[in-house]
Chain A
Amino acid sequence: MGLHISTIIDGLYFFQIALHAKKGCCKTYSATQNVDYHCTLFQTEHKMSIEEVCRKYQTDIVQGLTNAKAAEYLIRDGPNALTPPPTTPEWVKFCRQLFGGFSVLLWTGAILCFLAYAIQASRSARSHMFDRLSLCLQLYLGIVLTAVVVITGCFSYFQEAKSSKIMESFKNMVPQQALVIREGEKVQINAEEVVGGDLVEVKGGDRIPADIRVVSAHGCKVDNSSLTGESEPQSRSPDCTHDNPLETRNIAFFSTNCVEGTARGIVICTGDNTVMGRIATLTSGLETGKTPIAKEIEHFIHIITGVAVFLGLTFFILAIVLGYSWLEAVIFLIGIIVANVPEGLLATVTVCLTLTAKRMAKKNCLVKNLEAVETLGSTSTICSDKTGTLTQNRMTVAHMWFDNQIHEADTTEDQSGASFDKSSITWISLARVAALCNRAQFKAGQDQLPILKRDVAGDASESALLKCIELSCGSVRAMRDRNKKVAEIPFNSTNKYQLSVHETEDLNDNRYLLVMKGAPERVLECCSTILVQGKEQPLDEELKEAFQNAYMELGGLGERVLGFCHVLLPEDQYPKGFAFDTDDVNFQTKDLCFVGLMSMIDPPRAAVPDAVGKCRSAGIKVIMVTGDHPITAKAIAKGVGIISEGNETVEDIAARLNIPVSQVNPRDAKACVCHGTDLKDLSQDQMDDILRNHTEIVFARTSPQQKLIIVEGCQRLGAIVAVTGDGVNDSPALKKADIGVAMGISGSDVSKQAADMILLDDNFASIVTGVEEGRLIFDNLKKSIAYTLTSNIPEITPFLLFIIVNIPLPLGTITILCIDLGTDMVPAISLAYEAAESDIMKRQPRNPFRDKLVNERLISIAYGQIVTAGFALGGFFAYFVILAENGFLPTTLVGIRLNWDDRSCNDLEDTYGQQWTYEQRKIVEFTCHTAFFVSIVVVQWADVIICKTRRNSVFQQGMRNKILIFGLFEETALAAFLSYCPGMDVALRMYPLKPSWWFCAFPYSFLIFVYDEVRKLLIRRNPGGWVERETYY
């Protein structure tokens, strides 16, 4: 225990090193904070006498503070609560959404639009040539662009706000109460109102309201696990036992729990000044890096922005060189920016992540930060807690030894395991001893609950025994009622046993029954006989050896073993009414009859071995980090498969070959159980060596600070690390990890705040489902982006040809927005629902440096191949068809642009000699835009089916994605609506198409489908071949 606490201080220096090693966060962590921290840590109250403490706080040991004094202190020190970490103001968050990502580009576009409008408007005041509608087009586009940015910004903002609201719900917990003595009266007050100098009283089950100096205690034990990670309760007493405030017994810490007994103490620190508060403040100073998916998206935005700006400026200059007016050039610039930016993409990504987060929440993974969804998918190492995460976090009787035989008890959560022979008389005796010599009892009002779910008042092993007996023999309470307790000696560390004396069930039998349980070797010392098959036999050497073997075996399983014995006291010596004196023992405690052994363990959760297996096949290394004893840790590790069958540690090899540990080549051992004390002495290289060369690692007896070292070590080796933790001291490790996973049930608030994800059921298996979802979403986002990007480039090609070949514009800016924000949205989102192509849990985790979300192959596929094949050509074909069928053959079109866009030219001649007014030909042009748009929709049908899979054929994958099918219909219906709805000609300048024009793009749609099927076939046929290397994204 001492070790764990002293490492906190080590850890504090460690935090600082960690902090300074991180870029950019040194600022948030000021030097003054350091000093402050140490001053408080080295507080001296524990070394003062109680009177000195009272004097310091002007309080009284009996009367407590006066109300006036308390009120004064409350004003001076503030409420006794942790300051929540500074939150970003809502408007800043909103602005970040509004001006981040692609928004800047779109804002530029919108401003240029307004500028162009203003200039045109001022010109039209002088000339009457511009009619109102076309003048408004720029203004209109500017408004639409602004609306797009604002709407997508709002959307993302609300999505984010939603997920942070989930966190709010954790904060609003029932206020803690504290019992304080003020002016001599005991008052129950809100824990927030406790001030320094208050005299408080705590009893078993209470939470310590502040850091207190104990002045008196009766069997008081506190559970410091949330502070130190150590689960064994520690006793508290008024005596100063150590110079270090963290190790002395006379201080109890804020937010730890009092397990049993009562204590009275003077509050010495409140709120942020408490040890817990200090750690919480430190953690909030740690800044975490960007999540992998955020980096990926940023990388992607950089590429797209670069391309957009480059193309935009190139065309701007080109346009000027080609003799366009600069106003026209600005309009081209806007068009190219709008065409290049996938406006709907960020919203799509947010929706995809939200959908996954929702799906994960259903599976008990609550994601605080949307982007963490994907981080889990790229995780390559999981550092997991043992207690509660891998195990059920309740002691359970696992084995028994009686009748010279080891029996296995059922440890599963749902009692589905094997049972043993309960008919033996020895078992009945054993059960009776275990039930009677036991102070644990069920809390009231839980009769309808299953036995295993009931709350028990009492320590962990006794609860385990209670539940075990209740399960196999029925009501323990009834048994205790029938066997009234007459006397009892509670467990203490000198005796190492507990005994009690009861009346017997048989009313005619006036003898007393003495029952005892305790450390097996101590219990055995008290015995001279042993119960075998219901018969008392003398305890001979043979049986003693059998006992020793059983004890060793159970101990080797990492279980806590207890021995049980009993004796019926002879009536002549102890008649009815005999006064048993437990202080000065006046009765027989020797020559008892040994009944059996029972061993307990915190058993692994049922789903964990399977989940660990899945992790292993998914290439994820699972490292167990626990404060427990190495033997127990190893036993559980073996039980859940963290150390897989057949793999040996160095110690195992040594034992097998019967050679000293030092002679074993560490390389031969795949597994490793590392002791916390050893870890302290390891250099960085040695640490790396351990992490690199062992696939199966268990760290036992580690403190939460060492957990941070382990996390760092893993990250140094390039792993993306997920860390689970529940204690306050885990929070630095949780923050440090790429994804921190806090426990929803057992976790402390601070750890939940530091974590990115919360496991609502504390179950390790939930992490694995999370990993699966995270990997799936990465794959599906790739598909979604591939899909969105393919419709993006064909939106630029019209401008290209418009400027270079001088044909009428084939696709307008408004239509581009209709594609990006209208028809493309639902299909792109539907790809998030796509099922995995193969078992994604069978492949290695993605390498964040190599496997990018958007790589050159995706770009090449999207831009180079599918696009040109389907979209551009399909759209242009439709464009040429419409113009040709209306009289403008392609030969006439080339070079026609100047006249075409000249408002004063109202007798433009087509190929057939007809003459067109400006408005008449513009209607044809806008019909072409509509047709181009519809063609893109038609080709997008094929594209979304193509993007469904990256390797499999769509015929293998099937069309089971209902959302995708809905998307196909929605997209088509929307396109038809935009084309045929009356009024669209005015609103969006989209015109009804003749039915035959819908079919223009069909051959191209079919072509890209066939092309891509062939490509995927080649990828499947030639794994690693040229096609795969060049085109698999």
Chain B
Amino acid sequence: MASTEDKAAKQESATGWKDSFYNPRTGEVLGRTGSSWALILLFYLVFYCFLAGMFALTMWVLLLTLDDYVPKYRDRVPYPGLVIRPNSLDLSFNKSDPLKYVQYVKHLESFLQRYNDSQQDKNDDCPPGEYFLQDDTEDMSKKACLFKRGFLSLCSGLSDTNFGYSEGKPCVLLKMNRIIGLKPRGDPYINCTVKRDTPIQMQYFPSEGRIDKKYFPYYGKKAHESYVQPLVAVELLLTKDDYNKELPVECRVEGSDLRNNDERDKFLGRVTFRVTVVE
């Protein structure tokens, strides 16, 4: 029985597979006649259109429930991350070869464009040391506190357009992530250390790496259009002994309730990067 069945099956498949593409006797293409194809395709078209409509409807309902200014939930970003500029965790360059560090300089320069006086003059000079709380106005828009490039002094790129890279004393800018409604308690400041036995000298701008409370809270992109984050610049005052070595630097936000020791999130209130300066 098995053999006869197999033979039949073989014969069938021999003529069968050609027929399965186009069967001239019935006019079937891929097992269906033209009208059958039309009908099933029409069905799927209508069906999917309906589904798309349904999906659009539910998405529309979703968007209706959302606030334009503040996201519904902010519990997934309770604490800000800390990031550095230039945007690389591995700074390595030859101080006498401008081609090697020009990318960092360019990056810093473009990053600081928003902090130019021409931009910041529009912002308020608010009182330091306290939160810049603003009540809801009619158009919801909020004012921002000014932060000028000049605050960064040697690292502002104004006096030294190479941000110290040409002298082997590179500047690194640190910024905390924007989080709507974040009000850090205490006096937050940035502290950087080199993870090795002999420390290196560093210079912070503004002094002591302080982040003023007046830049908090943030009211969101739409309301707080001209908001700029406060920055802290660290100039690593490297000496000859520090050249040609990989220096692991860790910076943390200290002096406040902001977390800087999360096990899993290595960028929460802290950042680790490596600096290698070649002579």
Question: Which one, B44, B83, B87, B267, contacts A919 given CB within 8 A?
Answer: B267
Smallest beta-carbon distance A150→chain B, Å: 31
* B266 interfacial contact with A, CB 8 Å: yes
User: Which residues of chain B are within 8 angstroms of A21 by Cβ–Cβ distance?
Assistant: 1-3
Q: Tell me which residues from 42 to 74 in chain B have a Cβ below 8 Å from any Cβ of chain A.
A: 43-44, 47-48, 51, 54-55, 58-59, 62-63, 66, 69-74
Nearest chain B CB to A75's CB is how many angstroms away?
42
Contact with B along A1010-1032 (1 / 0, CB 8 A): 00000000000000001000100
Q: Check B51–A914 contact: CB distance below 8 A.
A: no
Do B6 and A23 touch across chains, with their CB atoms under 8 A apart? yes
Contact A912 B89 (CB under 8 A): no
Interface 0/1 of A882-924, CB less than 8 Å to B: 0011110110000000000000101101111111111110011
CA distance in complex: A877, B55 (Å): 8
Which parts of A438-476 form the interface with B (CB within 8 Å)? none
Q: Cβ of B59 and Cβ of A920 under 8 Å apart?
A: no
Q: How far is the CB of B44 from chain A (nearest CB, A)?
A: 7
Residue of B at shortest CB range from A883? B71
Q: Which residue of chain A is the closest to B271 with respect to CB atoms?
A: A906
Q: Is B184 an interface residue (CB 8 A)?
A: no
| Cβ–Cβ contact B264 & A912, under 8 A | no
Which of A264-272, A411-419, A864-872 is near enough to bind chain B? A864-872
Task: Say if the beta carbon of A133 comes within 8 Å of chain B.
Answer: yes
- Say whether A873 faces chain B, with CB atoms less than 8 Å apart: yes
Whole-angstrom distance between the Cβ of B164 and the nearest chain A Cβ = 23
Decide if A1003 touches B58 in the complex (CB within 8 Å): yes
CA–CA, A220 and B54, complex, Å: 87
The answer, yes or no, to whether A881 is at the interface (CB within 8 Å) is: yes
Nearest CB on B from A801, distance (A): 13
| B180 close to A907 (CB less than 8 A) | no
The answer to the question of B185 belonging to the interface, with a C-beta cut-off of 8 Å to chain A, is: no
Report chain A residues within 8 Å CB of B47: 865
Mask, B245-259, CB within 8 Å of A = 1, is: 000000000000000
| From A920, A924, A1026, contact of B39 by CB (8 A) | A1026
B158 within 8 Å of A by Cβ? no
* A24 to chain B: closest residue by CB: B2
Are A877 and B58 touching (Cβ within 8 A)?
Answer: yes
Say yes or no: is A715 at the interface (Cβ < 8 Å to chain B). Answer: yes
Say yes or no for A544: interface residue by CB 8 A criterion: no
A574 on interface, CB distance cutoff 8 Å: no
A880 at the interface (CB under 8 A from B): yes
Q: Please encode chain B, from 216 to 227, with 1 for each CB lying within 8 Å of some chain A CB and 0 for all others.
A: 001011101001
Roughly how many angstroms separate A912 CA and B81 CA in the complex, as a whole number? Answer: 16
Whole-angstrom distance between the Cβ of A754 and the nearest chain B Cβ? 17
Nearest to A918 among chain B residues (CB) is: B267
- Minimum CB–CB distance for A720 against chain B, Å: 10
Whether the Cβ atoms of B51 and A920 lie closer than 8 Å is no
A920 to B268 CA separation, bound complex (whole angstroms): 9
A1007 at the interface (CB under 8 A from B): yes
Q: How far is the CB of B213 from chain A (nearest CB, A)?
A: 19
Say whether, besides A133-B264, A911-B221, A912-B69, A881 and B62 are in contact (CB < 8 Å).
Answer: yes
In the complex, are the beta carbons of B178 and A919 less than 8 A apart?
no
Per the bound structure, the CA–CA distance linking A16 and B258 in Å amounts to: 87
Q: Give, as a whole number of angstroms, the nearest-CB distance from B68 to chain A.
A: 9
**A716 interface residue (CB < 8 Å to B):** yes
Which residues from A are CB-within-8-Å of B224? 913
CA distance A865 to B265 in the complex (A): 42
Chain A, 981-992, contact with B by CB distance < 8 Å: what is the 0/1 string? 000000000000
Residue of B nearest to A906 (CB): B267
Contacts A912-B220, A914-B180 given; indicate if A868 touches B51 (C-beta within 8 A): yes
Contact: A917 with B264, CB < 8 Å? no
Q: Which residues of B contact A887 (CB under 8 A)?
A: 71, 74, 77
Q: Quick check: A880 and B62 within 8 Å, CB to CB?
A: yes
| Given A716-B1, A910-B71, A920 contacting B265 (CB threshold 8 A) | yes
Quick check: A873 and B1 within 8 Å, CB to CB?
no
In the assembled complex, B40 has its CB within 8 A of some CB on chain A: yes
* CA–CA, A890 and B59, complex, Å: 10
CB closest chain-B residue, reference A18: B1
Out of A876, A886, A1026, which one reaches B76, CB within 8 Å?
Answer: A886
Which residues of chain B are within 8 angstroms of A886 by Cβ–Cβ distance? 71-74, 76
Interface residues on A, range: 35 or more
Complex interface: chain B residues within 8 A of A916 (CB): 77, 81, 177
With A887-B71, A915-B81, A916-B77 already in contact, the answer to whether A1007 and B54 are too (CB < 8 A) is yes
CA distance A904 to B83 in the complex (A): 9
A residues in contact with B168, CB < 8 Å = none
Please, how many angstroms separate the alpha-carbon atoms of A893 and B157 in the complex? 35
The chain A residue sitting closest to B181, CB to CB, is A914
Question: In the complex, what residues of B have CB within 8 A of residue A918's CB?
Answer: 265, 267
User: In the bound complex, what is the Cα–Cα distance between A260 and B76 (angstroms)?
Assistant: 91
Contact status B66-A919, CB under 8 Å: no
Expressed in whole angstroms, the minimum distance between the Cβ of B202 and any Cβ of chain A is 22
B4 at the interface (CB under 8 A from A): yes
Q: Are the CB atoms of A923 and B73 closer together than 8 Å?
A: no
| Minimum C-beta distance from A300 to chain B (A) | 18
Measured CB to CB, the closest approach of chain A to B76, in angstroms, equals 5
Contact with A along B224-241 (1 / 0, CB 8 A): 100100000000000000
Instruction: Give Cα distance in the complex from A681 to B222, angstroms.
Output: 98
The answer to whether B2 and A22 have CB atoms under 8 Å apart is yes
Q: For A880, list chain B residues within 8 Å (CB).
A: 59, 62
Is A1030 touching B40 in the complex (CB atoms < 8 A)? Answer: yes
B174 to chain A, nearest CB (A): 11
Chain A residues near B4 (CB-CB < 8 A):
716
Which residues 915-961 in A have Cβ within 8 Å of B in the complex?
915-920, 923-924, 927
Are the CB atoms of A906 and B264 closer together than 8 Å?
no
In contact, A913 and B265 (Cβ under 8 angstroms): no
Give the chain A neighbours of B222 by CB distance below 8 A: 912-913
Q: Is A994 located at the chain interface by the 8 A CB criterion?
A: yes
Cβ of A403 within 8 Å of any chain B Cβ, yes or no, is no
Q: Are A884 and B51 in contact (CB under 8 A)?
A: no
CB-CB under 8 A for A873 and B62, given A21-B2, A917-B268, A920-B77? no
Greatest chain A CB density within 10 A among B55, B88, B222 is at B55
Do A913 and B178 touch (CB < 8 A)?
Answer: yes
Q: Which residues of B contact A913 (CB under 8 A)?
A: 178, 180, 218, 220-222, 224, 227
Q: Which of A22, A865, A906, A1004 has the most chain B CB atoms inside 10 A of its CB?
A: A906
Q: Which of B4, B71, B220 is packed against the most chain A CB atoms within 10 Å?
A: B71
Measured between alpha carbons, how far is A715 from B1 in the docked complex, in Å? 6
CB closest chain-B residue, reference A921: B76
The reply on B29 being an interface residue by CB < 8 A is: no
Complex Cα gap A712–B3 (Å)? 12
A129: Cβ under 8 A from any B Cβ? yes
CA distance A739 to B73 in the complex (A): 63
B96: min CB distance to chain A, Å: 27
| Chain A residues with CB under 8 A of B59 | 877, 880, 890
From residue A980, how far is it (CB to closest CB) to chain B in Å?
16
The smallest beta-carbon distance between A830 and chain B, in angstroms, is 28
- The yes or no answer to B209 lying at the interface (CB within 8 A) is no
> Does A289 lie at the interface of the complex (its beta carbon under 8 Å from any beta carbon of B)?
yes
Pick from B62, B220, B267: contact of A884, CB under 8 Å: B62
CB distance from A736 to the nearest CB of B (A): 8
Q: Give the one of A876, A917, A1004 with max B CB within 10 A.
A: A917
Q: How far is the CB of A722 from chain B (nearest CB, A)?
A: 14
20 contacts between A and B (CB under 8 A): A21-B1, A129-B89, A716-B4, A873-B51, A873-B54, A876-B55, A880-B59, A885-B73, A886-B71, A904-B88, A906-B83, A911-B71, A912-B69, A915-B177, A916-B177, A917-B81, A917-B177, A918-B265, A919-B265, A920-B265
Closest CB pairs A-B (n = 8)? A913-B221, A917-B81, A915-B177, A715-B1, A919-B265, A887-B71, A885-B72, A906-B267
- A904-B88, A915-B80 given; 18 more Cβ-contact pairs under 8 Å: A21-B3, A736-B1, A868-B48, A873-B51, A876-B55, A877-B55, A884-B63, A884-B72, A885-B71, A885-B73, A887-B71, A907-B81, A912-B180, A916-B81, A916-B177, A917-B81, A917-B265, A920-B81
